[in-house]
């Protein structure tokens, strides 16, 4: 693969310097690739209307061609030309949650290149709220295709350093706008059926969606492993995702039992010469005996767990652990998204005690 000279540009996330935004927007207009922060995770952006530009995204990430991309906009009026039409459901969702961490699947219009949708007749659109993302998209004057800015299969990046670790030399520019707020990717909802379907849980919770829409189905792939023979509604669902190098095992059940079991398993693996990591919460961190106990956040503040999850998984890799025991998390609210990513990181390797 040809090595690109990746430019790293620091931009103030609160008040983006407009000259820098303009400079980065030019790279997008020239059909280059720019990684930028959003309120969820960092994205790797390119001109959504240019096939060659979009191809660079797939190439840099090593992303399978059958996994479609989300198109990002900076104003609601840009939606019209990307979709075949909007429904009442779409209007309700947009007015409740845009700009913000929600991706809406709609019937696509004819201007969307095939490479974006992986041949589907639907398109995923998101209007992010992060000021750098918004001003960059606006300045480019283009709809911007952007998957998470990680190497395919790795946890999504929540700081610029994660992007640098994965994509340096593979993209034209990386904007450093500090840590992202939500820490997990956007909620994805499909509105092309009579009853909308949640395809990926994220920053906007199922409770919030039902408050606005009434009935919303949850795709089975959100909570369960799908077998290899079923075709998922969201192609991204079938890939082992978010995986650190070490094997992850989730331990769930009665709290006291979970702690005892993790400590027992730690001893066992340690005696076999393995390097063990434990992913705890603040409330239980002091109760584990492994060499590397990393707390993912406070149970009293699930937002903190969402924000730290991917960073913590990457940290275990840096520490070079062979196995990670993860204490299960509460699945209410944002917990559904946290558990979905944790399940995938673990390849659904779950021990119930
Ligand atoms: O928060 C986010 O959504 C981030 C930031 C950068 O905006 N982006 C992101 O993109 O997570 P990506 O490509 O990593 O995940 C997009 C997901 C994939 O699971 C993909 O399969 C699904 O959305 N998707 C895209 N287009 C779709 C479509 N037309 N129908 C069903 N699923 C689709
Ligand atoms: Mg991704």
Starting from the CA of residue 241, give the closest ligand.
2
In a domain, 241, yes or no: no
Among candidate residues 307, 103, 334, 302, the one with its CA nearest the CA of residue 208:
334
Q: Give the Cα separation of 95 and 121 in Å (integer).
A: 24
pLDDT of 233: 76
CATH number at residue 153: 3.90.870.10
Tell me, yes or no, whether 54 and 175 share the same domain: yes
In a domain, 122, yes or no: yes
In a domain, 201, yes or no: yes
Check if the beta carbon of residue 145 is closer than 8 Å to that of residue 73.
no
Tell me, yes or no, whether 216 and 276 share the same domain: no
Report in angstroms the alpha-carbon separations of 353 from 63, 251, 260, 294, 299: 37, 7, 10, 22, 20
Q: Which domain holds residue 299?
A: 247-352
pLDDT of 238: 65
Tell me, yes or no, whether 181 and 329 share the same domain: no
Q: Give the Cα separation of 250 and 262 in Å (integer).
A: 10
Report in angstroms the alpha-carbon separations of 183 from 155, 258, 304: 11, 26, 9
Tell me, yes or no, whether 139 and 283 share the same domain: no
pLDDT of 172: 98
Tell me, yes or no, whether 276 and 188 share the same domain: no
* Any atom of ligand 1 within 6 Å of the Cβ of 40: yes
Nearest CA residue ID for atom 12, ligand 1:
147
Nearest CA residue ID for atom 21, ligand 1:
236
Ligand 1 atom nearest to CA at 124 = 26
Check if the beta carbon of residue 334 is closer than 8 Å to that of residue 299.
no
Share of the chain above pLDDT 90, in %: 92
Tell me, yes or no, whether 44 and 174 share the same domain: yes
Tell me, yes or no, whether 84 and 165 share the same domain: yes
Ligand 1 atom nearest to CA at 63 = 13
In a domain, 230, yes or no: no
Tell me, yes or no, whether 58 and 161 share the same domain: yes
Q: Give the Cα separation of 98 and 55 in Å (integer).
A: 28
pLDDT of 224: 86
Nearest CA residue ID for atom 18, ligand 1:
236
Q: Specify the residue for token string 């790293």.
A: 8
Tell me, yes or no, whether 150 and 93 share the same domain: yes
Tell me, yes or no, whether 123 and 88 share the same domain: yes
Tell me, yes or no, whether 86 and 40 share the same domain: yes
In a domain, 256, yes or no: yes
Q: Give the Cα separation of 245 and 348 in Å (integer).
A: 15
* Any atom of ligand 1 within 6 Å of the Cβ of 306: no
- What tens digit of pLDDT does each residue of 221-277 get? 998 887 767 777 777 766 666 777 899 999 999 999 999 999 999 999 999 999 999
64 Cα: distance to centroid of ligand 2 (angstroms): 11
Among candidate residues 219, 221, 44, the one with its CA nearest the CA of residue 136:
44
Q: From first to last of the 353 residues of the chain, give the pLDDT tens digit.
A: 689 999 999 999 999 999 999 999 999 999 999 999 999 999 999 999 999 999 999 999 999 999 999 999 999 999 999 999 999 999 999 999 999 999 999 999 999 999 999 999 999 999 999 999 999 999 999 999 999 999 998 999 999 999 999 999 999 999 999 999 999 999 999 999 999 999 999 999 999 999 999 999 999 999 888 776 777 777 776 666 677 789 999 999 999 999 999 999 999 999 999 999 999 999 999 999 998 999 999 999 999 999 999 999 999 999 999 999 999 999 999 999 999 999 999 999 999 99
Residue ending a domain, choose from 222, 239, 273: 222
* Any atom of ligand 1 within 6 Å of the Cβ of 197: no
In a domain, 254, yes or no: yes
pLDDT of 241: 67
What does the CA dihedral 6, 32, 154, 300 come to, rounded to 10 degrees? 90
Q: Give the Cα separation of 24 and 34 in Å (integer).
A: 7
CB atoms within 10 A of CB 162: 25
CATH number at residue 329: 3.40.50.11030
Q: Per the structure, how many domains does the chain have?
A: 2
Task: Give the three-class secondary structure for 14.
Answer: coil
Among candidate residues 206, 177, 214, the one with its CA nearest the CA of residue 339:
206
Ligand 1 atom nearest to CA at 117 = 29
In a domain, 231, yes or no: no
CB atoms within 10 A of CB 147: 23
Q: Give the Cα separation of 32 and 48 in Å (integer).
A: 11
Tell me, yes or no, whether 115 and 153 share the same domain: yes
> Structure pTM?
0.96
Check if the beta carbon of residue 171 is closer than 8 Å to that of residue 35.
yes
pLDDT of 169: 98
What would you measure as the largest C-alpha separation in the chain, in angstroms?
A: 62
Among candidate residues 315, 318, 334, 167, the one with its CA nearest the CA of residue 326:
315
């Amino acid at each position: 693969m040809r090595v690109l000279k990746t430019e790293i540009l620091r931009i103030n996330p609160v008040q983006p310097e407009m000259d820098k935004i303009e400079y980065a927007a030019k790279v997008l207009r020239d059909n280059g690739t720019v990684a930028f922060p959003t309120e969820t995770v960092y994205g790797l952006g390119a001109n959504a209307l240019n096939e060659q530009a979009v191809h660079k995204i797939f190439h840099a990430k090593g992303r399978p061609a059958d996994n479609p991309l989300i198109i990002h906009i900076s104003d609601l009026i840009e939606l019209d030309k990307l979709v075949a039409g909007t429904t009442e459901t779409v209007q309700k969702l947009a007015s409740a949650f845009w700009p913000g961490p929600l991706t809406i699947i709609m019937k696509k219009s004819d201007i969307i290149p095939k490479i974006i949708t992986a041949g589907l007749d639907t398109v995923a659109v998101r209007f992010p709220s992060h000021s750098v993302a918004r001003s960059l998209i606006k300045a480019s004057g283009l709809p911007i295709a952007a998957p998470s800015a990680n190497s395919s299969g790795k946890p999504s990046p929540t700081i610029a350093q994660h992007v640098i670790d994965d994509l340096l030399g593979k993209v034209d520019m990386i904007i450093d706008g500090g840590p992202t707020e939500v820490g997990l990717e956007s909620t994805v909802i499909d509105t092309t059926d009579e009853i909308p379907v949640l395809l990926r849980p994220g920053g906007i919770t199922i409770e919030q969606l039902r408050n606005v829409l009434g009935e919303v189905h949850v795709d089975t792939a959100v909570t369960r492993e799908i077998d290899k023979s079923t075709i998922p509604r969201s192609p991204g669902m079938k890939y082992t995702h978010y995986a650190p190098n070490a094997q992850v095992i989730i331990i769930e059940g009665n709290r006291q039992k979970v702690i005892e079991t993790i400590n027992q398993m730690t001893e066992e693996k340690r005696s076999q010469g393995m390097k063990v990591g434990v992913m705890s919460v603040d409330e239980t961190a002091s109760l584990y005996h492994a060499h590397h106990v990393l707390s993912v956040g406070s149970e009293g503040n699930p937002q903190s767990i969402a924000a730290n999850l991917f960073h913590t998984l990457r940290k275990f890799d840096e520490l070079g652990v062979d196995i990670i025991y993860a204490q299960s998390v509460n699945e209410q609210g944002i917990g559904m998204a946290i558990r979905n990513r944790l399940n995938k990181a673990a390849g659904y390797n779950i021990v119930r005690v």
